[in-house]
Amino acid sequence: MKNDLKNILAIETSCDETAASVLRGNIHNAKPSFKFLSSVVKSQIEIHKKTGGVVPEVAARAHMQNILPVTEKALRDAKLKLKDLDYIAVTSGPGLVVSLIVGTEFAKGLSLASSIPMLPTNHMEGHLYSAFGKLSDKVQFPVLSIIVSGGHTMLVLMRDYKNYKVIGNTVDDAAGEAFDKVARLLKLPYPGGPEISKLALYGKTDINFPRPMLSENNFNFSFSGLKTAVLYYKDKITGVAGKGTKRNLTKQEKADIAMSFENAVADVLTKKTLRAVNKYKCKTVALSGGVAANRKLRAELAAMCKTNNLQFNVPDFELCTDNAQMIALAAYFNLRSGKKPKAASKVKADPAWEIS
Ligand code: KG4
Ligand code: ZN
């Protein structure tokens, strides 16, 4: 077979990380074979800590400042020049529109200047494929993939790398959003998810928070009721301002809430995943998205997979949250599936681009 190793530069700016990565992979081999030549992530956490969350215009401005040095470093680390690239992949949705525009327009400029074709790539597909960064040639299909990020909670059935179908979604808040909102209730710093996770380690008493939609006969999720249950529980302990005396939560009370909330989320996600695995006779569970960095969730799913004799795929911790390596990987698998590149003039940021 002719040597069809291709170099893909990927750029990611959908929220608050400016990232670039280079992947080299063989497109036409029967089995996927690729390696990452570089991966650079410039986090904006310190900037957004000051406001307790992401202010889109502030994020976009930081992307503008970072995108060129981050991309240059990704090329330098890969020991490649622009002319050595075969494709330029970019996250063009979903995400914050002003953030997406920075990466997308930058990639379009690079493509126009170099005549390198573009691969507009979906951010959720990036998370989806991120779970296959290592064992991709040994994966046993069908795969039940669970993606838990700041904006999405999804169950995806994968028959193979080319064919997937979203079988469950959140009807309101995503799991990551619930982590962030509960963290705010507990007055923890941004980003909330990892802070809840750290605090949960000191929890002693398991408060029986609700397991939303666990008994419903579908694969959808809802986390806004759980967040409200945490709010009511907290108000019951501390009192409400203007109605008698109000006090702050103790450190132990906060830790108990964090642990119990985390238990409830992990419980719902694990049990619904198992139900879908059984229905579709899956052989593998793949976990991805920012909340996949949560130790409790990883442990619960790993234990469930062990009990049920399933393969369990999860990215390393640093590849759960947003990065460009996962975008390069999604673009690579799309090329292998026969997806054609697009002319730069046809590419535009699409903040509402959902996979189905
Ligand atoms: O995938 P991601 O980086 O961005 C989106 O695509 O949304 O996910 C970010 C989300 C945030 O809600 C963050 O709080 C959550 O992932 N997160 C965690 C942990 N690390 C990040 N949630 C729970 N435990 C963690 N260790
Ligand atoms: Zn993400």
What's the rounded Cα separation, in Å, for the pair 276 and 256? 30
Cα of 25 to ligand 1 centre, how many Å? 28
Cα of 126 to ligand 1 centre, how many Å? 15
Chain segment 276-325, per-residue pLDDT in tens: 999 999 999 999 999 999 999 999 999 999 999 999 999 999 999 999 99
Atom of ligand 1 nearest to the CA of 17: 3
Dihedral sign, CA of 172, 176, 177, 179? positive
99 with 69: CB under 8 angstroms?
no
Ligand nearest to the CA of 17: 1
Beta strands in the chain (DSSP E): 5-12, 17-26, 33-43, 87-93, 118-122, 143-148, 153-158, 164-168, 284-288, 311-313
Give residue 164's pLDDT. 98
Chain segment 6-52, per-residue pLDDT in tens: 999 999 999 999 999 999 999 998 899 999 999 999 999 999 999 99
Ligand nearest to the CA of 152: 1
- How many CB atoms neighbour CB 1 within 10 A? 7
User: Pocket around ligand 1: residues whose beta carbon is below 6 Å from it?
Assistant: 15, 149-151, 176, 179-180, 191-194, 197, 289-291, 293-294, 321-322
What's the rounded Cα separation, in Å, for the pair 326 and 337? 16
How distant, in Å, are the alpha carbons of 239, 254, 277 from that of 225? 20, 19, 26
Chain segment 100-148, per-residue pLDDT in tens: 999 999 999 999 999 999 999 999 999 999 999 987 788 999 999 999 9
Give residue 241's pLDDT. 75
Atom 22 of ligand 1: nearest residue by CA position: 193
pLDDT at 3 over 70: no
Chain segment 333-345, per-residue pLDDT in tens: 999 999 999 999 9
Chain segment 138-193, per-residue pLDDT in tens: 899 999 999 999 999 999 999 999 999 999 999 999 999 999 999 999 999 999 99
Atom 20 of ligand 1: nearest residue by CA position: 194
For residue 310, report the phi and psi dihedrals to the nearest 5 degrees: -110, 150
Residue of 291, 325, 354 to test ligand 1 pocket, by largest number of atoms within 8 Å of CB: 291
Cα of 36 to ligand 2 centre, how many Å? 19
